[in-house]
A and B are shown apart, each in its own frame.
Chain A
Amino acid sequence: MTRLLELLVNGVSLGLLYALITLGFVIVFKATRVVNFAHASFLLLGVYVVASAQPSIGFGAAALLGLAVAGLLGLATERLLLSRVDRRNHHAMAILTIGLNVVLTAELTRRLGESVLPLGAPWDGHVVKLGPLTLPLTVVLTIVAVPVLIGGLTALLTLTGWGLAMRASIADAEGAALVGIRLRRVSATAWVLAGLLATAAGIGLASFPSPGVSLSIESVAIAAFPAAIIGGFDSLGGAIAGGLIVGVVQVLVAGNQDSLSFLGLGAGDVVAYLVMIVVLLWRPSGLFGSKEFSRV
């Protein structure tokens, strides 16, 4: 029972990190209609900067640097590359991010290779005892910090003028432009946010009990894609729900590996995709996604 509870808490913590990654992905999609296939490599680049700067300038400064680099990368992607492609050509924009992903992954592979860089976060290696549960400090912090982050993001979107502009341009880009909202600024902010959220999630993913920053972080982060599909691709609430579902299912399957041996070794890593396909069979636009319709 304790074990199940521990697994659940761990799963929720992982799920919240997935939710952060997925949120960045969905925000970009909603604001600019771009499916960002380079999102996972944004994440890896962000934490790579953190891990490689941390020995010389300390974790706090390194984390800020990593966030800044990933945010700037998002901004540069939007400004230098995507804004030069026809906005209506969604395929071209998505393919462009695939090309970008190939280049970024190649560079990170060259730099990281097989090595694992320690993240050096102050909460690494600590374990907390909560009643009968023994949990890594990272898990507890994630469960506290990520909802705060998401709450802040929600407040930003609902209370500020920027959030209003964002929501207006998501609802109707042409109408928003007509009333004087600068679409360029909205999409640039969305990309910066995506970079920031990805790096924040990456710091969580690379913290204890994970050994540190390595190439495998990127394949973990790719699981945010099925999370986005499960939640419904254009729904922020759905992104959070999808992330939680993927996290909990993954940890539960990996934790019960022995009794689920018929699924094969390492089933935890792929079960998210299985859930995604099942959800798609049942609801083609995800759990909370808006149904596609066309007016004739």
Chain B
Amino acid sequence: MSDATATAAVAPRAVARRLPGALLLAAAVVVLLALPLYLEAFWLRIGLFSMATAVGALGLTILFGAAGQLSLGHAFFVAVGTYGYAFLSGGDTGHVKGLGLPPIVAAVLATLLAGVCGLLFSPVAGRLRGIYLGIASLGLVFLGHHLLLNLRPVTGGYDGRSVTPFSLGGFLFSDSSDLAVLGVPFGAVESLWYLFLAVTAVATLVARNVLRGRPGRAFRLMRDNEVGAAAMGVRVQRAKASAFVLSSMYAGVAGVLTALAFQRAVPDYFDLGLSIDFLAMIILGGLGSTSGAIVGATFVVALPIVLSRYADALPLVVGPGQDGLDASIAAQFVYGALVVVVMLTQPGGLRAMVHTLRQRRRPPYARRTP
């Protein structure tokens, strides 16, 4: 009886506490949907790159943040997605071949292809633990880069190959579409914005459900105590392999989005640096957190571009080709140092910082441990 009244009394309060969150989310959705009408293409393009990498970061945060399996091979699977899409949807031009499939089919197949590559590597990935996998997966990046340079008919070699623009049900996501909304011409960037938003939203939801549900709990248990997980009935090798396959499929989706955003695929983009970027993103944002992965990805992607755009206004930094501190190098300094500082002070990343701040504002009895 008293329990029931207590619950009844708590329930409206819980709703009241959630209400601002829901309102905030709704406002964010409205703003994100309206942005293409107001922002110039430069900022929208940053948004596209951020969303493309955010999807990849989500995959890595499942693999490393939840399952504790470090992968430095993420760039390889992104490359599989990019080139898979470019090859499957592209046509034959010169010495570069393509299958000419409809873009949506090509995108789905490219994602599956990345998953299959992850599955092929899983005999290695499933047996190695944590850091060991990190170094072993390093090999994938180098082998992948070698393949990209040498499988000329598929990848176009050093110069790369162009990417067929996306189309869905007759609507073309490129500058050649003559659609205009409220007087704003809807070119490639504007229309891709909505496509990317939808994909990122779905990817985030799926990641969140995986992390909060049964598989996520199994992954975390396995990360913290492998023997304990095995004793609780988690099939450790299989769980490791499936985390790896899932994260490579995320990387595959990220690869397809990257291909669409760049409209060209070049091998030098997919080097070890990209893998390390992904790692930095999820660490800065907070391991194992979906929102952290998105914020981290936006930061790491936008930092060099924004720095080089405002190079003239900033001290120390100069634009490309000038004498002085190059913007891309300056960005590397900033985020490399940030990774070190985060590890020294707040290994939980941005999410843990936000959490601590929130806890401080609450009365002591309402505080929760993360």
B39 to chain A, nearest CB (A): 30
Q: Give Cα A91–Cα B123 distance, bound, in whole angstroms.
A: 22
Q: Are B347 and A92 in contact (CB under 8 A)?
A: yes
Q: Are A99 and B343 in contact (CB under 8 A)?
A: yes
Q: Are B142 and A229 in contact (CB under 8 A)?
A: no
If the complex has contacts A96-B339, A103-B332, A265-B150, are A225 and B132 also in contact, measured as CB distance less than 8 A?
no
In the assembled complex, which residues on chain A have CB atoms less than 8 Å from the CB atom of B135?
A: 35, 225-226, 228-229
The residue on A at minimum CB distance from B272 is A222
Q: Are A269 and B146 in contact (CB under 8 A)?
A: yes
In the assembled complex, which residues on chain A have CB atoms less than 8 Å from the CB atom of B365?
A: none
> Which of A100, A109, A270, A274 sits near B340, CB closer than 8 Å?
A100
> Which of B70, B139, B338 sits near A94, CB closer than 8 Å?
B70
Counting chain A residues whose Cβ lies within 8 A of the other chain, the interface size class is 35 or more
In the assembled complex, which residues on chain B have CB atoms less than 8 Å from the CB atom of A89?
A: 347
A62 to chain B, nearest CB (A): 26
> Which of A81, A103, A233 sits near B132, CB closer than 8 Å?
A233
> Which of A84, A102, A110, A267 sits near B325, CB closer than 8 Å?
A110
> Which of A91, A226, A270, A294 sits near B146, CB closer than 8 Å?
A270
Q: Give Cα A5–Cα B103 distance, bound, in whole angstroms.
A: 53
Q: Are A276 and B139 in contact (CB under 8 A)?
A: yes
Q: Mark B273-292, 1 if CB is under 8 A from A, else 0.
A: 00010011001000000000
Q: Are B128 and A102 in contact (CB under 8 A)?
A: no
User: By CB atoms of chain B within 10 A, which of A35, A105, A106, A225 has the most?
Assistant: A106
> Which of B70, B138, B147, B340 sits near A91, CB closer than 8 Å?
B70
Q: Give Cα A268–Cα B178 distance, bound, in whole angstroms.
A: 51
Instruction: Say yes or no for B171: interface residue by CB 8 A criterion.
Output: no
The residue on A at minimum CB distance from B271 is A219
Pull 7 A–B residue pairs with CB atoms less than 8 Å apart, ordered by A: A98-B276, A100-B336, A102-B335, A226-B139, A273-B140, A277-B124, A280-B127
Instruction: Say yes or no for A281: interface residue by CB 8 A criterion.
Output: yes
A153 to chain B, nearest CB (A): 23
In the assembled complex, which residues on chain B have CB atoms less than 8 Å from the CB atom of A105?
A: 332
In the assembled complex, which residues on chain A have CB atoms less than 8 Å from the CB atom of B131?
A: 35, 90-91, 94
Instruction: Say yes or no for B264: interface residue by CB 8 A criterion.
Output: no
Q: Which of A63-115 contact B (CB under 8 A)?
A: 81, 84-85, 89-96, 98-103, 105-107, 109-110
Q: Give Cα A105–Cα B339 distance, bound, in whole angstroms.
A: 14
Q: Are A103 and B226 in contact (CB under 8 A)?
A: no
Q: Give Cα A233–Cα B131 distance, bound, in whole angstroms.
A: 11
Q: Give Cα A106–Cα B136 distance, bound, in whole angstroms.
A: 24
Q: Mark B226-269, 1 if CB is under 8 A from A, else 0.
A: 11000100000000000000000000000000000000000000
If the complex has contacts A96-B340, A100-B336, A273-B138, are A267 and B347 also in contact, measured as CB distance less than 8 A?
no
Q: Give Cα A252–Cα B347 distance, bound, in whole angstroms.
A: 44
Q: Which of A235-266 contact B (CB under 8 A)?
A: 264-266
Q: Which of B119-158 contact A (CB under 8 A)?
A: 123-124, 127-132, 134-136, 138-140, 142-143, 145-147, 149-151
Q: Give Cα A238–Cα B10 distance, bound, in whole angstroms.
A: 62
Instruction: Say yes or no for A130: interface residue by CB 8 A criterion.
Output: no
A-B interface pairs (CB < 8 A), number: 122
B142 to chain A, nearest CB (A): 5
In the assembled complex, which residues on chain B have CB atoms less than 8 Å from the CB atom of A277?
A: 124, 136, 139, 143
Q: Give Cα A101–Cα B340 distance, bound, in whole angstroms.
A: 10
Q: Are A81 and B136 in contact (CB under 8 A)?
A: no
A23 to chain B, nearest CB (A): 16
Q: Give Cα A35–Cα B138 distance, bound, in whole angstroms.
A: 13
Q: Give Cα A228–Cα B151 distance, bound, in whole angstroms.
A: 29
The residue on B at minimum CB distance from A262 is B150
> Which of B134, B143, B340, B344 sits near A35, CB closer than 8 Å?
B134
Q: Give Cα A203–Cα B138 distance, bound, in whole angstroms.
A: 25
B285 to chain A, nearest CB (A): 13
Q: Are A229 and B146 in contact (CB under 8 A)?
A: no
If the complex has contacts A99-B280, A294-B227, are A280 and B143 also in contact, measured as CB distance less than 8 A?
no
Q: Give Cα A101–Cα B134 distance, bound, in whole angstroms.
A: 15
Instruction: Say yes or no for B326: interface residue by CB 8 A criterion.
Output: yes
Q: Are B142 and A280 in contact (CB under 8 A)?
A: no
In the assembled complex, which residues on chain B have CB atoms less than 8 Å from the CB atom of A93?
A: 343
Q: Are A284 and B150 in contact (CB under 8 A)?
A: no
Q: Are B329 and A281 in contact (CB under 8 A)?
A: no
Other than the given A95-B279, A277-B124, 11 more pairs (CB < 8 A) read A91-B68, A94-B134, A96-B340, A100-B340, A109-B332, A110-B325, A265-B149, A269-B146, A273-B138, A273-B140, A294-B226
In the assembled complex, which residues on chain B have CB atoms less than 8 Å from the CB atom of A110?
A: 325-326, 329
Instruction: Say yes or no for B38: interface residue by CB 8 A criterion.
Output: no
User: By CB atoms of chain B within 10 A, which of A84, A85, A99, A106 has the most?
Assistant: A99
Instruction: Say yes or no for B11: interface residue by CB 8 A criterion.
Output: no
User: By CB atoms of chain B within 10 A, which of A101, A233, A267, A277 has the most?
Assistant: A277
Q: Give Cα A220–Cα B167 distance, bound, in whole angstroms.
A: 43
Q: Which of B186-228 contact A (CB under 8 A)?
A: 226-227
Instruction: Say yes or no for A296: interface residue by CB 8 A criterion.
Output: yes
In the assembled complex, which residues on chain B have CB atoms less than 8 Å from the CB atom of A294?
A: 226-227
> Which of B124, B130, B149, B329 sits near A266, CB closer than 8 Å?
B149
The residue on A at minimum CB distance from B130 is A91
Instruction: Say yes or no for A292: interface residue by CB 8 A criterion.
Output: yes
Q: Are B332 and A92 in contact (CB under 8 A)?
A: no
Q: Which of B294-335 contact A (CB under 8 A)?
A: 325-326, 329, 332-333, 335
Instruction: Say yes or no for B337: interface residue by CB 8 A criterion.
Output: yes
